[in-house]
A and B are shown apart, each in its own frame.
Chain A
Amino acid sequence: MLDPAEFPRRMEELRKLYPQGDPDLVGEIVRAVLTTMRGDLSANEASLMAEIEELARTVANARAEIAAIGADEITESHIPSATDELDAIVAHTATATDSILECCEAIDTVTARLTPEDAQTMQGVVTRIYEACSFQDITGQRITKIVGTLKTIEAKMAHIMEVFQPSAGAPGATPKPVERREASVDDPASLLNGPQLAAAAMDQSDIDALLASFD
């Protein structure tokens, strides 16, 4: 009789031999074997068989659930479409901002013809518009971060689908854990976080105080 400890290795060999093998079929075979041989199996062996049957059922359920949520559609249509839309937002806001800046520059050129008092008022207004236009840089960076997150989700979904293909189960099919990098000056990319949300960000006075602490 097969040593239970050998069972995972034998299952692996079978998966390699029959990559198109269906876990449901394995479950059925196990059930049949249990039905006909239960009397000849020890308690440990019967328990192992039950575990394998449960595993087969779990894999089959996971595949059914992935099929039900339309994972293919998410990776092939929804996410690419969302990233395209976000890229379009960046392009449109850039165009609009450039138009606003062009108008400000035109106002700047005529400001010199105004009385000193009016010129000062007008310059103050134009300065505020310039400041406000920097939103395009910040929103662009935030949207780029979102696009990056969506692409990560897309890659993870594709990997999960790959793992649950009928030929799955080969060694190395387990998803790699997300690699977390500590921020370090030796690894400049690790320091790039992009704009912080207001609640998590340092404002200019915090930064001034931090810089002053070096003096």
Chain B
Amino acid sequence: MAIDKSMNVLIVDDYKTMLRIIRNLLKQIDFNNVEEASDGAEALGKLRTGNFGLVISDWNMAPMTGLELLQEVRQDTRLKSLPFIMITAESKTENVVAAKQAGVSNYIVKPFNAETLKEKIEKVLAHA
């Protein structure tokens, strides 16, 4: 199934540099409609008022973490099926298990490469 690359993608990270890197990498694989949020709370507000096809979120942010954002998304009637990829430096088993139990679609550990990002996005959207 062809992936609709015109969809809106929300990227969430408290490091502006990281947002910029992910945005540029997404642009290279033809995802040009990208919005940014600097923490889970801001992201949740944008998700509830906007129309997004994919969320790519960091974990360690304040006041709302990526895991809390994921939990909120999965409890929201309209957003619960939204593809959600976690990109984080948290690489302990307990983190991956917690994210999976909360309903993460895929999990990328930092530092990551463009190929991994592309592969995970395609995999997640193919199953969406």
Interface residues of chain A, those whose CB is within 8 Å of chain B, are 94, 97-98, 101, 104-105, 108, 123, 126-127, 130-131, 133-138, 140-141, 183, 185, 188, 191-196, 201-204, 207, 210-211, 214
List of 3 A-B pairs having minimum Cβ-Cβ separation, nearest first: A195-B89, A137-B18, A183-B94
Tell me if B17 is interfacial: C-beta within 8 Å of chain A.
yes
**Quick check: is B60 within 8 A (CB to CB) of the other chain?**
yes
- What is the bound-complex CA distance between A133 and B97, given in angstroms? 28
CA distance A71 to B123 in the complex (A): 56
B21 touches A191 (CB 8 A): no
Interface of B, secondary structure class, is helix
**Which of A135, A188, A196, A211 is close to B100, meaning CB atoms less than 8 Å apart?**
A211
A-contact 0/1 string along B38-69, CB 8 Å cutoff:
00000000000000000000011000010110
B108 in complex: contacting residue of A188, A194, A204, CB < 8 Å: A204
The distance from the CB of A57 to the nearest CB of chain B, in whole angstroms, is 47
The answer to whether B98 and A101 touch across the interface, beta carbons within 8 angstroms, is: no
User: 8 other contacts beyond A195-B91, A210-B96, with CB at 8 A cut-off?
Assistant: A104-B24, A123-B28, A137-B17, A192-B60, A192-B90, A193-B95, A202-B109, A211-B100
Does B80 belong to the interface (CB within 8 Å)?
A: no
From known contacts A192-B90, A210-B93, infer whether A130 and B100 are also in contact, taking CB-CB under 8 Å. Answer: no
B15 to chain A, nearest CB (A): 5
Cα A183 to Cα B67 with chains together (Å) = 14
Q: Is the CB of B96 within 8 A of A185?
A: no
Instruction: Pick from B15, B27, B90, B114: contact of A193, CB below 8 A.
Output: B90
Complex contact B17–A133 (CB within 8 A): yes
Which partner residue on chain B sits nearest A131 by CB separation? Answer: B113
**B28 near A127: Cβ-Cβ < 8 Å:** yes
Closest to B97 in A: A210
Contact of A185 among B17, B27, B102, B106 (CB under 8 A): B102
- Listed in ascending order, the chain B residues whose CB lies under 8 Å from chain A are 13, 15, 17-18, 20-21, 24-25, 27-28, 59-60, 65, 67-68, 89-98, 100-102, 106-114, 116
Inter-chain CA distance A163–B68, complex, in Å, is 40
Whether B96 pairs with A130 at a CB distance below 8 angstroms is no
Interface centre among B13, B92, B108 (most CB of A within 10 A): B92
Residues A101 and B24 in contact in the complex (CB < 8 Å), given A204-B109, A207-B96? yes
Q: How far is the CA of A203 from the CA of B94 in the complex (A)?
A: 14
Min Cβ gap B66→A in Å is: 10
28 A–B contacts from the bound complex (CB under 8 Å): A98-B17, A101-B17, A127-B114, A131-B111, A131-B114, A136-B18, A137-B13, A137-B15, A137-B18, A137-B110, A141-B60, A141-B89, A185-B67, A185-B102, A191-B90, A192-B90, A193-B92, A193-B95, A195-B91, A196-B91, A201-B109, A202-B91, A202-B92, A202-B109, A204-B109, A204-B112, A204-B116, A214-B100
Q: Which of B15, B101, B107 has the most CB of A within 10 A?
A: B15
Q: Is the CB of A138 within 8 A of B92?
A: no
